[in-house]
Amino acid sequence: MFGRLGAPEIILLLVVIVLLFGAKKLPDMARSLGKSARILKSEAKAMKAESTDTAAAPADPPAGESAPRTIKAAPGDVTSRPVSEPTDRTTQR
Report if residue 11 sits inside a domain. no
What residue numbers bound the domain in which 42 lies? 23-55
Asked whether residue 51 is assigned to any structural domain, the reply reads yes
Q: CB within 8 A of 83, min separation 6: which ones? A: 68, 69, 70, 71
Based on the structure, what is the number of domains in the chain?
1
- Would you say residue 92 has pLDDT above 60? no
Q: In this structure, is residue 39 part of a structural domain?
A: yes
What's the confidence (pLDDT) of residue 79?
A: 61
> Per-residue b/e over 22-36, b at no fewer than 16 CB within 10 Å?
eeeeeeeeeeeeeee
DSSP code of 77? -
* Residue 75 is assigned to a structural domain of this protein: no
Predicted local distance difference test score (pLDDT) of residue 72: 57
Listed in sequence order, the residues at least 6 apart from 71 whose beta carbon sits closer than 8 Å to its beta carbon are 80, 81, 83
pLDDT in tens, 73-86: 666 555 655 556 66
In a domain, 9, yes or no: no
Tell me whether residue 46 is in a domain.
yes
pLDDT tens track for 9-49: 989 998 898 888 888 888 888 899 999 999 999 999 999 98
Q: What's the predicted TM-score (pTM) here?
A: 0.41
Residue 16 belongs to a domain: no
Report yes or no on 86 lying in a domain: no
